[in-house]
Amino acid sequence: MTRSLRLLLLALLPPLALALRAVDVPTPTEITCEGLFETVSTDTETFSTFQDKVVVTGNNLKLYCDFLKVVAIRKGDPAATIGQYGYFKSLVATGNVRIVQGDREATCGRAEVFPGEDRIVLSEDPVVRSLDDQYVAAGPKLVLYRGQRRAVIEGTPAERVRLTLPAIKDLGFEEEKKPATAAPAAGTP
């Protein structure tokens, strides 16, 4: 191996290692609250509740709410008093819910997050908007799909879907300009 090839490999290895590490190691989920935290385990699941100014920080997601119930699949010794968290089955957030994910923000009264299904269901006056204010969507129920850049809004006869988008340019036809008519000559009837 030539010296220049060795130098090139040595120069490339650290950035490649960092890139691989970033892909392989997901950010741990952190949940904080100002009030009560309670957890109850069964043989298969762990249920946790968080109250008062709850904040969830995870991979490309920040969630704020008043109350959060988390259901996780339990791993480890089933006889242990408190089970170890496996993967999240669901998170149900209620009260002043605000979710920031990528380039969009959602607000609502209730959000159900299903990580295994890559979807979030928003209800109780949900509104989703882009952070650059290019769109605002609202309706009785919104379903957001992770990785698909897809949202489904379900309306009802009592509550219609509302979507606000940037202005569309005028696509109408201009009226034809009539040629100016000559003024009648003086003294002509």
Can you give the CATH number for the domain in which 68 is found?
2.60.450.10
Query: What total of structural domains would you count in the chain?
Result: 1
Does 126 fall in a domain? yes
Higher-pLDDT residue of 122 and 20 is: 122
Please check whether residue 68 lies inside any domain of the structure.
yes
Q: Are 85 and 67 spatial neighbours (Cβ–Cβ below 8 Å)?
A: no
142-179, pLDDT tens digit by residue? Answer: 998 888 878 899 999 999 999 999 888 888 777 666 66
CA angle 133-68-46, nearest 5°? Answer: 135
Is 4 inside a domain boundary? no
Q: Are 98 and 126 in contact (CB under 8 A)?
A: no
Is residue 164 a contact partner of residue 136, using CB atoms and an 8 Å limit? yes
DSSP 116: G
Question: Are 108 and 135 contacting, i.e. CB atoms less than 8 angstroms apart?
Answer: no
Residue 177 lies in a domain: no
Domain range holding 71?
A: 29-164
Q: Summarize pLDDT for 112-150 with one digit per residue, the tens.
A: 999 899 999 999 999 999 999 899 999 999 998 888 878
Q: Which string of DSSP letters, residue by residue, matches 50-108?
A: EEEEEEEEETTEEEEEEEEEEEEEEES-TTSSSPEEEEEEEEEEEEEEEEEETTEEEEE
Question: In this structure, is residue 21 part of a structural domain?
Answer: no
What's the Cα-to-Cα distance from 33 to each of 53, 154, 182, rounded to whole Å?
Answer: 5, 32, 81
Residue 156: inside a domain, yes or no? yes
Residue 101 lies in a domain: yes
pLDDT tens column, 57-68: 988 889 999 999
Backbone angles phi and psi of 99, in degrees to 5: -125, 130
pLDDT of residue 176: 64
Q: How far apart are CA 71 and CA 90, in angstroms?
A: 5
Model confidence band, residue 181 (pLDDT cutoffs 50, 70, 90): low
Return the closest-CA partner of residue 142 out of 187, 82, 99. 99
The answer to the question of residue 5 being in a domain is no
